[in-house]
Amino acid sequence: MSASHLTLVPSDDPYSLIKQAISDARYVPGEFLRESRIAEDLGVSRTPVREAIRRLEAEGWLEVLPNRGARVRRWSTRDVEEIFEARLLIEPYLVGQAALRVTPEQITELDELAERTRVIASRGLDAEPTDSWFDTNKRFHDILTAAAGNSRLAQSLQSMKEVPLIKWTYASYRDTDRERSAGQHIEIVQAVRARNPAWAEAAMRCHILAAQTSLLARLDHALIDQTPD
């Protein structure tokens, strides 16, 4: 990707623009980012661009190599495993807590979102853009984690889900994967509506494990480099 694809608007900043470009795979793993080019295309000084790169390095999105500059981080199979292992420790627990605290209004929205994912899955990958699936899925999970009432764990979970690996999971899904995932959403809503924490936790754990298995089975070497430098 050329930095000229980044367009600055009043509500944006170099940090959010670069991060979004990485998430969307417009900057690909291993690609070097040039401060001067980004600053020129955005019409800003190099200082905010440099600060954005430092912040993204600290968050694990970029890596800075001596005398070579910053490049988009390459992800290994172990990175994928670690992220999903952490999700398995946190997310099922939060959903179990949500089953005890979720409001009727939240259950109604969860029902609507689960049905939307089912409809998207039934139309097939060619009929719906990946973003439609991703946005609906994100909202579904966000409601559940918010309903748990544990902001610290929710923030930890959110930081893991922001990495591009999560979005790439959905981009790698086949139609059968989407249909399975949609069915799991429906079961999670049923468990939450029943106020059954054990069922909700088990359903979410199966959901995460299935997503992990799908991604590991289809690691795209153009996006995730499994070999060290």
HEC string of 64-89 equals EECCCEEEECCCCHHHHHHHHHHHHH
Output the pLDDT for position 171. 66
Sole residue written with tokens 């097939």: 124
Element of type H or E holding 93? helix 77-101
State the span(s) of the chain assigned CATH 1.20.120.530: 77-217
Which residues have C-beta within 8 Å of that of residue 190, sequence separation ≥ 6?
199
Q: In this structure, what token pair is assigned to residue 125?
A: 């990958």
Cite the residue boundaries of each domain of the chain with CATH code 1.10.10.10: 3-72
Domain 3-72: give its CATH code.
Answer: 1.10.10.10
Take residue 3 and report the two structure tokens written for it.
């930095």
pLDDT tens column, 136-152: 999 999 999 999 999 99
pLDDT in tens, 196-214: 999 999 999 999 999 888 8
Per-residue pLDDT band for 132 (boundaries 50, 70, 90) equals confident
For the ranges 46-50, 103-107, 212-216, the one whose mean pLDDT is highest: 103-107
Residue 126: count of CB within 10 angstroms of its CB: 7
- Strand extents, DSSP E, the chain: 32-33, 62-65, 69-72
CA distances from 38 to 46, 138, 167 (A): 8, 29, 24
Residue 27 · residue 6 · CB < 8 Å:
no
Q: Which CATH class is domain 77-217?
A: mainly alpha
pTM here is 0.74
Phi, psi of 84 (to 5 degrees): -70, -30
